[in-house]
Structure 1
Amino acid sequence: MTVPLPQIQIQSVPGRIGIQSQSGQYDIRQNSATIDVQTSDTVIDIKTEQPVVMIDMTKTWDALTGGKPEAFWNRIYSSYKECAIRYIQSKVQEYNQIGDLTAGGNPVADVAKQSLSQQDLKLNVFGPASYDNVDFQAVITKPEVNVQVGRADINVKVNKPDIQYNRGNVKVYMEQYASITVTPPIIDLTH
């Protein structure tokens, strides 16, 4: 009879190393940029003068009242020469008619009769009556415009970022230790 040989049993468990890691983190904070804006308004300065209307009514007053005394008397004096010439011309014509011996009838009576229907000589002492006796003149000055352009001053201040770095870590540990188990053979001595 054969006897089985006893066997040794060896059992091994490998060791395991555990590693836990945590990444580093950046914490970045940055405030918005600070903007300072200062403006000044545009200023418009306009200087104007009232329009001036000049009315000359000299011709109107000359036609209505004869005008200023100096102008009135100048018209009378200048009219005398013309009146004297017309008067002399009418008298020369009358005396020529009386002196014409070839004309029949009674020339003195005819001239006397004509002189009754004659109009008197008129002195031109008033100015002419016209719808255009008033002169208008308007003086309009150009406005003076001064523009002071406004402006905007913009100052921008960039705030630096606040950067915080939180370090990560690496944790190394034995998750399982290595082991060897040796089981001796069982020997049966009863045989």
Structure 2
Amino acid sequence: MKLPQIRIQSQNALLGLQTKDAQLTIESGPAKQTIQQPQADIQIKTTPGKLTIDQSKALADVGIIPTEQSVKQHVNEAMQTAVEGSKKRRRQGDMLMKIENGGEPLAEIAKQNGHKPIKDFNIGWIPSGDGVKIDYEPAKVEINNKANRPIINVEPTENQFYYQPGDVETYLEQKNWIDIDFVNVKYVGNHFEMEV
């Protein structure tokens, strides 16, 4: 005896997926930086040294004196010479007035006027040991400096983002189907029989 059978075969549909990943790109440049270093402020104040040499005493020792002092000295000497000369002329005049008293006043006066007195001479051009005075004031140097801080400017660079979105694409990789088959199935009708 053959039993009727229904045979069903089916296949599911298969979906395919194709994906594309999203991409993110970040670009960041270096920060812009400028540095300025001003020079330090330096002030140097110099007071020069002072050397004073006083040789007026040494010059006076050898007979070299300042003009003003020399003029005064010569005036005093001339005045003294004039006074002494005046006294000498008066004394000699008195001798001539008393010529009647005897003696030889003319010869005496001629002798006085005819010979100049002998002057003593010694080495006079050697100055004394302390004739030159030296005074020295050393130089002074004042240094003032002021350091200037560096000037730093920083300008950050903004980051740049580039985004490419991802994508998903679906497609039908395999169609679905169903197959139905009948085995041993007969249709019995009026006076006939049919196998389905």
TM-score w.r.t. the length of structure 2 is 0.52
Change (3 A) 1:52 1:14: same
Supply the RMSD in Å over aligned alpha carbons. Answer: 3.7
State whether structure 2 residue 34 is matched by structure 1 residue 36: yes
Instruction: Give ranges in structure 1 of 5+ residues lacking alignment.
Output: 74-124
Deviations 1:114-147 (A, max 9, x none): xxxxxxxxxxx999843x5533211123123232
CA deviation after TM superposition for structure 1 residue 62, in Å: 5.4
Aligned to 1:157: 155
Aligned to 2:47: 49
Q: Partners in 2 of 1:174 and 1:66 — Cα distance?
A: 134
Q: State the AA in 2 paired with 1:53.
A: L
- Give the number of equivalent residue pairs: 135
Q: Percent identity?
A: 28
Q: State the AA in 1 paired with 2:16.
A: G
Q: Which stretch shows the higher mean deviation, 56-65 or 147-156? A: 56-65
Aligned to 1:181: 179
Retained in 2: the 8 A contact 1:66–1:126? no
Retained in 2: the 8 A contact 1:59–1:127? no
Retained in 1: the 8 A contact 2:58–2:132? yes
Change (3 A) 1:152 1:66: closer
Correspondence list, 1:16-165, <5 A = 16-61=14-59, 64-65=62-63, 129-130=128-129, 133-165=131-163
TM-score w.r.t. the length of structure 1 is 0.53
Deviations 1:12-45 (A, max 9, x none): 2222222222222112122221112233212323
Secondary structure of 2:25's aligned partner: strand
Secondary structure of 2:34's aligned partner: strand
Q: Partners in 2 of 1:43 and 1:34 — Cα distance?
A: 28
Deviations 1:148-167 (A, max 9, x none): 43332111111211112211
Change (3 A) 1:10 1:50: same
Retained in 2: the 8 A contact 1:62–1:127? no
Change (3 A) 1:157 1:66: closer
Q: Partners in 2 of 1:128 and 1:166 — Cα distance?
A: 109
Q: State the AA in 2 paired with 1:44.
A: I
Retained in 2: the 8 A contact 1:24–1:165? yes
